[in-house]
Amino acid sequence: MIIGVPTETVPGETRVALVPAEAEALVDRGHTVCVAAGAGDATDWSNADYRAVGCEIVDDRDGVFERADVVLQVRGIGAVDELDPYDDDQIAVGLFDPYNVDDATFETLADRGVSAFALELVPRISRAQSMDALSSMASIGGYKATITAAEALPKMFPLQMTAAGTVQPADVFVIGAGVAGLQAIATAERLGASVRGYDIRLEVRQEVQSLGADFVELDLETEGSGDEEGYAREMDEEFYRQQRTELTRVVADSDVVITTAAIPGREAPELVTAEMIEGMDPGSVIVDLSAVTGGNCEPTVPGETVEHAGVTIFGPTNLPATVSHHASQLYASNVASFLELLLDDEGGVAIDTDDEIVDSTLLTHEGRARYPHLPDAPTDEDEDEDEADAPDADTEEGDR
């Protein structure tokens, strides 16, 4: 196979889809790996590093697409309003933002005969853990959110007992105990803060406490708050209203609030209101890790840092890209594990839709856009009805 790694075109995207160590393993297996010139520059891997492990450097980015059987990217769609030049029968693996990209884009990929795999849709099963790019990147996001807050807070995180007096530890409150939230808690603990964590899924209490943090339990009915994969479910507005009321006191007592609550395919729930923020001390800091889907805080502006009532609110949309070296290393490992699933014993690609991981992540294949991840996805029954109502297959419209 010829495996291609183009440069990323989304503004601010510094990661690369394949690092030299993972590329070397593919070259050793007999594959050709062609990398666009400069693809790894922002991650501290140079063209020379890739050449040293047997990769070919392609000067023209489009040349990667022209040559490759398999294209590996961080952002599979490319820059805004721009679809990369995928070619007929190409295989593409990357983050395709399937919940937010319009269906027409996937229809275009299907028309080109591209088999596109979205790593956001890797199921949460033990066999797929090594391919779970969302978890890898969420962990980095949780870490960097805490570092961002520590830099911005005009207080120190740890307890300090000095001849000049005692400095009390900062109070850090993390909302959401998924991968990002747990990493934020762990990082704040390591920095010496007094940490509390909260999640509507009471089953994560032990995970929060195992990291040394206190678990905040609110007087709310939480049955059915998590799905079978461990993600939080969307609750009704009355639940969120009661939750905001209960959270008001905890938020007001915090120097730092890090919010991570997200629901796949939905807007982030608004958990922290402007009124709640007004109860915090001036100089306090909020880092809203759900900004990319609207944010958990009422004043959050995605991609910007704003101030409300003396509180600084960060709305980052791609924190992993600020830790480009290790983010690329982890992402490349996820990609390589996923690619291993697709490669057969002869070194070709076998797309087996009976495999749960393949079926869950495959967006387009054999000229068809597949939407298994969308709420209004066409089902097999819908397709059977469409075929029954379709014109005769010998007509031009029927062929289409």
* Annotated catalytic residue, options 129, 160, 168, 209: 129
* Annotated catalytic residue, options 231, 266, 281, 355: 231
Q: Any catalytic annotation for residue 231?
A: yes
Q: Any catalytic annotation for residue 209?
A: no
Q: Any catalytic annotation for residue 124?
A: yes
* Annotated catalytic residue, options 135, 183, 328, 333: 135
* Annotated catalytic residue, options 61, 75, 86, 132: 132
Cα–Cα distance, 125 to 145 (Å, whole number): 27
Q: Any catalytic annotation for residue 160?
A: no
Q: Any catalytic annotation for residue 129?
A: yes
Q: Which residues are catalytic?
A: 124, 129, 132, 135, 231
